[in-house]
Structure 1
């Protein structure tokens, strides 16, 4: 994920090199959570299941192989494609802690799921500020 301009100074100067080592050295180009391969377009379902071409089977959101009973799911009706991009994430959200144990190579889905509480908090703060500015300049909301 791109780093916001206002957050760049929290990251070390060699962040790109460190990120490459984590994503392609340690993780071998696959998400460390769900095992999706970097740079490939994969078929996926809304619940996190995705088609692993190398294993010729469906995997769940945690990377485990899923077996489907014939006719139990109408899988082809809900399938879509997505291009997988790996990013290096901080497990504890502390950008100053760049130890290998704190860094993880995650696809965009796993990274967004991990950061969801922070995104919810920021969305609430943005809406709170908008309402406060509206109250200040346009009067209270009706």
Structure 2
């Protein structure tokens, strides 16, 4: 995912090389959490379970193999998604780019990892809007 222009100064100058190393050398082109392969279209059930084409088995959201019967127990809709890996900061600090703080996550795992931070930022945004409404006697939006 491209870095927003106003956040670019938070990343090191060699971020592209560091990100490539984390995603493709250290992680081997697979998500560190669920093992989905980068650049491939995978079939999934929408709840984390996905079909690993190379091993010919279903995996759960943590990359563990599922028994054949556990994957499809009832009528389900199988969807497809193209997987893209991103280098994620474990502590959510963009300026902390030490290798032990970086993981290669697919878009699903990255969103799950960042969910608490997104909720925190949303709460801050709501409070700022409310404060501006109180300050200027305006609407809350």
TM-score, normalised relative to structure 2: 0.86
After superposition, the C-alpha distances for 1:78-136 in whole angstroms (9 at most, x for unaligned) are 22111100000111222232222111111011111111111011122223333444453
| Structure 2 unaligned spans of 5+ | none
Residue aligning to 2:85:
86
User: In the TM superposition, what are the counterparts of 1:101-120 in structure 2 within 5 Å?
Assistant: 101-120=100-119
Residue aligning to 2:28:
28
Residues of 2 paired with 1:71 and 1:41: CA distance?
18
Note closer, same or farther for the CA distance 1:72–1:10 as it changes in structure 2 (3 Å cut).
closer
1:138 and 2:138 matched: yes
| Structure 1 unaligned spans of 5+ | none
CA contact (8 A) 2:23 2:85 kept: yes
Residues of 2 paired with 1:88 and 1:58: CA distance?
25
CA contact (8 A) 2:43 2:78 kept: yes
After superposition, the C-alpha distances for 1:13-41 in whole angstroms (9 at most, x for unaligned) are 11001111111111111001100000111
User: In the TM superposition, what are the counterparts of 1:4-15 in structure 2 within 5 Å?
Assistant: 4-15=4-15
Superposition CA RMSD, Å: 2.3
Note closer, same or farther for the CA distance 1:139–1:52 as it changes in structure 2 (3 Å cut).
closer
TM-score, normalised relative to structure 1: 0.86
SS in 2 for 1:54: coil
State the number of aligned residues: 140
